Homo-oligomer: A and B are copies of this chain.
Amino acid sequence: MENALKGSCIIGQSGGPTSVINSSAYGVIRTALDNENITRVFGAAHGIKGVLNDQLYDMGEEDAKELELLMNTPSSELGSCRYKMADPDSDDTDYQRILEIFKKYNVRYFFYNGGNDSMDTCDKISRFMDKSGWECRVMGVPKTIDNDLYNTDHCPGFASAAKYIATSCAEIYKDARVYDTGMVCIVEIMGRHAGWLTAASALAGTIGCGPDLIYLPETDFDMDRFVADVERVYKERGNCLVAVSEGVHYADGRFVSEAKTSATDGFGHAQLGGLASLLAAVIKDRLNVKVRGIELSLLQRCAAHAASAVDVNEAFMAGKIAVESAVAGETGKMVAFKRAGCGEYKCEYVLVPLTSVANYEKKVPAEWITPDGTGVTQDFIDYALPLIQGSVDRPTENGMPRYARLKKVLAK
C-alpha cells in the first residue's frame, strides 16, 4: 500500500459529552486495534489535556467486550476538556509539547472527536505537524448535540438528544393535561446559539403531542408577544406547552435568561433556576394561570437509554471511517455526513477540510421557522425524523444499563 504509514494513534474526546460520543471512540479504537499499520492505540485522558500531560490510556490493555460496551455508555468515557489552544504563530508552547509526546510514542495518527472548538484544535495541530515535518495524519470526528457544525448534514449526538427531547415533550404533553384545569408548561432546551434541539421538540407533534409554541434563538424574542402567544393558545385549547431554547434573546442581543426587564422585575435571578422558571413566573404574574417550568438540563445530553439507533451507528461509522481514511493517506479532514438523494433516508460519509468546519456555527435555516416565529415547518420534520429512527437493544445488568468498565492503564 503506497500510503502505508506505521505508528501509534491517539483518540481524544472534547467538549460537552453526548449519548454517542463513545460510539465514535469505539469506531476509532476498534478499527485502529484491528489495523496492521497502527501499532498502538491510546486514549487521551481529558482530550488534548491528556496529550499535554502525558496521560494516555493504552487501549490494547482493555478487554474487547468492555470496549464494545462503549456503544452503550453515555458521556465521554476517556474524559473531556474545554481547552482553547493558542494560535501557534503567536505561542507554540502547547504544540511543541504535543510534538514531543507524539515523538515519544511514535504517534502517526491523531483523531479528535468534538464540536466547533475541537475541530479548530484539530486543524491547528494538523497544520503545525505539517510544518514541523513530523508526519502525522490528523482527522476530526464530529460530535455535538447542538448540530451546529458546518459542512455536514447533521452531527452525531444530535439525533439521540432530539429523540429524547421529542419523547420527553410527548410525555410532558400527556402529563400536563391530565386534569380538567389547564396549565402552561414551559420546557427549556439546550442550544445557546442554534435552535436544532429546541426545534426537535416538534417531532412530538408527529404523534399529536407536540408543543403549542416553539421559540428558537434564531429569532428575536419579545416578552409581550410571548405572553400574548401563550394567552391566545391557552384560551383556545385550555392548555399550553411551550418549548424554548436556553439561548433566546431580545432584539438587542441580551439573553432573556440573564436580562431583567420591566416584565420580569423581581424575577430575573438567572442564578436561581433558569429560563424556564423565569418565563413560568412571568406567565404566572401576567396571566394568573397554573404554570410549570421544566429544564431538561444534562438529562438531554446523555440519555443513552433512549438513544437513536441511526445515531449510534452513524457515530460508530464516523470513527471507523476516520481511521480508514487516515490509513489511506488522508489528513486535515473531518468525517462529514451527506444525505444521499431523496426518497428513503441514507447517509453517505464524506471528508471535508477541517478549516471549513472550525469555528462556524450552523443555525436552523430561516425558511424552516414559521413566519410568526413560534414553530417549525414540515421541512424541518422531514429533515429530523429519519435521524431518530430505531432503538438499540442495550445490555443491562439488574435492570440498570451495563456501561463499559475500562481499566484505563496509563501508557509508559
Contacts and interface: CB of A to CB of B under 8 A. Distances in A.
A207 B17 contact: no
A360 interface: no
A79 B182 CA distance: 12
5 contacts: A17-B174, A74-B171, A75-B175, A167-B401, A294-B298
Interface in A362-412: 385, 388-391, 396-403, 405
B271 A305 contact: no
Nearest to A77: B174
Nearest to A391: B396
Interface string A156-172: 00000001001110111
B397 A302 contact: no
A190 to B, nearest CB: 12
A282 to B, nearest CB: 10
A206 B398 contact: yes
Nearest to A309: B399
B308 A170 contact: no
A180 interface: yes
Contact of A274 (B49, B269, B273, B301): B273
A400 B206 contact: yes
Given A292-B298, A389-B398, A178 B273 contact: no
Contacts of A226: none
Interface string A261-279: 0000001010111100110
A189 to B, nearest CB: 13
A46 interface: yes
Contacts of A296: 299
A132 interface: no
Contact of A272 (B79, B175, B277): B277
Nearest to A209: B403
A179 B292 contact: no
A166 B401 CA distance: 10
A76 interface: yes
Given A167-B401, A295-B295, 20 more contacts: A17-B174, A46-B179, A74-B171, A74-B174, A79-B179, A79-B180, A80-B178, A167-B305, A185-B298, A203-B400, A269-B273, A272-B273, A272-B277, A272-B278, A272-B281, A273-B274, A294-B295, A299-B299, A389-B398, A389-B399
Contacts of A35: none
Contacts of A179: 46, 79-82
Contacts of A388: 399-400
A209 B403 CA distance: 10
Nearest to A278: B272
A176 interface: yes
A283 to B, nearest CB: 12
Nearest to A387: B399
A303 interface: yes
B170 A400 contact: yes
Given A175-B302, A303-B171, A385 B403 contact: no
A263 to B, nearest CB: 14
A119 interface: no
Contacts of A294: 295, 297-299
Contacts of A172: 298-299, 302
Contacts of A206: 397-398, 400
A163 to B, nearest CB: 6
